[in-house]
Structure 1
Amino acid sequence: MNQFTEYFAEVDWGTLMAVWGMRVVSAVLVLLLGLWLARLVTRLASGALTRAHFDTMLVSFLRRILYAAALVIVFVTVLAQLGVQTTSLLAVIGAAGLAIGLALQGSLANIAAGIMLIALRPFRIGDTVEVAGQTGVVEQVLVFHTVIKSFSNHEIILPNAQITSAPIVNFTALGQRRIEVPVGISYDADIRAAREVLVGLAKAHEKVLEDPAPSVMVNGLGDNSVDLTLRAFVETPDWAGTRSDLIEATHRELGKAGIGIPYPQRDVHLRFPDGVKLEDKRKTEASEARANAS
């Protein structure tokens, strides 16, 4: 007790108060100046990103990250002005950041993927896309996830990390989309006549583009038919309706032209063992003929 009394008696309280007063004043000045600089730097960076035509959502997210980092720097500087040893504090902050990063690595992966999607823009709101096995119209692109509305009117929420790690098919990016209508015609039919009918009905449709022009390809000789494919380009919003019209017109116009679309057929050949009577063979052949006729 005497030692503490002697220690406090020897302290120059005037000098101590003056030193701590200067430290507190300088710390307050650093705090005020730091907060002002943090706001200024954040505002300048946000304006630069906006002028560079970055997405508003990405600008807002980066502005918050930059401001939070600036506040950490200001906080550490203020503690240093007060005489606090910040080396150990920085080590603690680094360790805490590492632990948080390991614990939230899945979320951080989604954040990084979200920043890539917003910055690179492989698709935009309103685009029809196929991503991660899901097809629909993009409604929102957020930092953590992307919202897609399916054609069945379902809301699909996809983590951004799944989107960037899978192929992305954007059906509306180029403005035009090709329709393919597969058609099988009879082997007895004239392929040139069928091609003229198909190209003619495509050209007659008001939504089909003249350039590239509609065409018909022969894809192969199937088991029951000659396989053709009608190809025509339309504006992307007209794809579904025009495809339905062309399929209906194909069935109608080929029928008018007398070009048959055959049903699947199968020929069955029966082998009779020795000892079977001829009359039985004839009955079997007659029933087989009736089956083929039907």
Structure 2
Amino acid sequence: MDMNPDQLGNYATTFINVLIDYSPKLISAFLILFIGLYAIRLINRIIRKIMVKRNLDPTLRNFLADILLWALRILLFVTFISKLGIETSSFVAILGAMGLAVGLSLQGSLSNFAGGMLIIVFKPFKVGDTIEAQGVVATVLEIQIFVTKMLTGNNQTVFVPNGALSNGTIINYSMQGERRADLTFSISYDSDIKKAKDILLEVLHKNPKVLENPAPEVFVKNLSASSVDFAVRPWAKNANYGAVFSETLENCKAALDEAGISVQPFTIQK
């Protein structure tokens, strides 16, 4: 269809008038966009510095900073298109539906993420601690967002989901710095109880790895059907616990044998 010069002039005039009327919105929208992007970078840097000063775990620090960054960017984008005059209600509804769908499909991962944050914030353990949880005794290597990476005594790497870890029982063997070994030695009823007790105490006091404070303990724990059971409880630094445990077993057995005291076969340790 051919257009005469008058029609072209009318279209051009209409376009210019619309552009002039719309230019304030356009200029203000782009001002908001550029200022918002600068403000978001500034806020992100400030938040990161605050988290560093609060000694938050680096993994959690980066993750939270990224979440904040994208949340602010989405908010800025919604504000930008709203300033342009575009209807945002349907757009927000679509975002909400997408968020709900993603949340439902990632329930397990979100549970692990929440568990990871709880672990990092409340610190039931930290990297380097030896813990017992979910049937695993191991040293914590890394607390990640979804799992905790640990190393067992036989050099196996174990990944435990943070959701199960944060909701279960955690025994932290490193938190107090000292640990007590609970052992039970059983002797026959024919043996001298006082002599056996003195021998066991002497063995504990001779071991330099056994702490004097708290003092080691030896006492009659139980009179069973076939034996007299002694509780033997030496204290040790966490680094020496394994050595104290094994040396106490070996040295107490050797000392009792040397004294002619019969050790019953059902010796209990834990």
Relative to the length of structure 1, the TM-score reads 0.84
**8 A Cα contact 1:107 1:144, kept in partner:** yes
Does 2:130 align with 1:143? Answer: no
Pick aligned residue for 1:119 from 121, 124, 133:
121
Corresponding position of 1:215: 217
| Mapped contact 1:198–1:216 kept (Cα < 8 A) | yes
Distance in structure 2 (CA, Å) of the matches to 1:58 and 1:160? 13
Aligned to 2:193: 191
Question: How many Å apart are 1:128 and its aligned residue?
Answer: 0.7
Q: How many angstroms does 1:165 deviate by?
A: 1.2
2:262 aligns to what?
A: 260
Alignment of 1:1-294 (within 5 A): 9=10, 12-263=14-265
Please give the alpha-carbon distance, in whole angstroms, between the structure 1 residues aligned to 2:92 and 2:110.
22
The residue identity in structure 2 corresponding to 1:239 is Y
Identical aligned residues as a percent: 34
Cα distance in 2 for residues equivalent to 1:262 and 1:211 = 30
Aligned pair count?
261
Per the TM alignment, residue 22 of structure 1 is displaced from its structure 2 partner at its CA by 3.3
**The structure with more radius of gyration:** 1
Q: Which has the higher contact order (CA 8 A, sep 6+)?
A: 2
User: In structure 2, what residue type is equivalent to 1:217?
Assistant: F
Q: Which residue identity does 1:141 align to in structure 2? A: I
Identify the range of structure 1 (19-28 vs 200-209) with the bigger mean alpha-carbon deviation. 19-28
Measured against aligned partners, the alpha-carbon deviations of 1:133-153 in whole angstroms (never above 9, x if no partner) come to: 111111110001001111121
The alpha-carbon deviation at position 252 of structure 1 amounts to: 0.7
Q: TM-score w.r.t. structure 2 length?
A: 0.91
Unaligned 5+ residue runs, structure 2? 2-6
| RMSD of aligned alpha carbons | 2.0
Paired position in structure 2 for 1:290 = none
Cα distance, 1:67 vs structure 2: 0.4
Distance 2:246 2:130 in 1: 18
Query: 1:240 is matched by which residue type in structure 2?
Result: G
Aligned equivalents of 2:182, 2:144: Cα separation in 1? 35
Distance 1:253 1:84, change over 3 A: same
